[in-house]
Structure 1
Amino acid sequence: MDLKTTFVQPDKNSFIWWTGITILVVIISILHYTTPTMNWEYHLILMQSYFIPVLLAAFRFGIRGGLISALLITVFYLPHIMLQWGGFVETNMIRFLQILLFFVIGYMTGFKTEREKEEKEKFQRSASELSANLEKLKRQAEEIGLLEQQLRQVDRLSVIGELPANLAHEVRNPLGSIRGAAEILRSEAPDALKKSEFFQIIFGETDR
């Protein structure tokens, strides 16, 4: 969810929110219109009460909500100033400044709300990216483990492949000794035995 979706496009609850905010503004305005001007302390309380819908709209809809609610209050509150308080700037300066303050508070609160939501979304995106990276590292670790198993298997196969050569070497050494001993025996044997089948078999087998 991005800020454009949150603060510009209406969602399912926007109508309910704006209906409640509008009703609250209307109630405060009716109390303004029905309260005698001599009860200025009540009007002061009601004037401050207008900040409630401004803050609600700004918290829910950001800058857009804060400014729209301030404009809505102006539409309802300005006729009250003009009709019941004479509308003169000199005598109603505090009320006109109050209207301006509605817009300022609406904008500042909405701006702060949007920044906080933006930071929250950045944090959520960072958390999602971190989770994805952890999953990626986990898969890579599993792949490395599989490769290590394959390497160990290759090492075992290479050892098995070297075994015949080692056996041949170990067997060839005593065969060489046997041949040497046979040659010594043949050299010392009588001439009639030097070409005997016995020596031919020994030499033939050791030469293989």
Structure 2
Amino acid sequence: MCPDDESINIAYHNGNIIISDDNQPTAIPLKRAENLDLTTFEIALIKLFPTSEIITVACHSAINYHGYSVVDSGVKIRFKTLSSDDDKMVFGSPIEDEIKIYETSVLKCGINYWSYDNDSEAMCTEDQLMEDFTFKIAARRLGVNLDADDGDELMELVVFKKYIKAKSEVTSTNYKAEAKKVTWIK
């Protein structure tokens, strides 16, 4: 779901619009958040869907990063990011999907640990459970867990429309003018 080509990919599944954005509008604002303020991306979506639940998820395995935001009827109710390199940032009360995951952890010295493959000796930390958190949050709307068989079906059967930035000649003299007018092509 991250094509690494600066595209925006849009599909429809289970009554939901899926926007796979190659990290531009979601991952950077998730890393910079300091409270439950809405991002520019979320504000734009709320204008289109004011009474909807809007979920933003990002997951990057290289640094065990996961982040998500849940907006309900225009109000951000939950925000969380965590990586192996940065401290956890959380705002708002835990949602049901998170609570179920936290209930399976063991708290030691103020840190949550989970057993790995049901082995009580092999424990992992919260940043190592990034996919468990982000995929459960995504499943909240999609109805399928992306790392399970039904998630594979979603990835194979759902057709995304790809939009990419039109290439333009950008020079140092016209950079500011060109940066303001981005054209997306299908």
TM-score when normalising by structure 1: 0.24
**Max radius of gyration: which structure?**
1
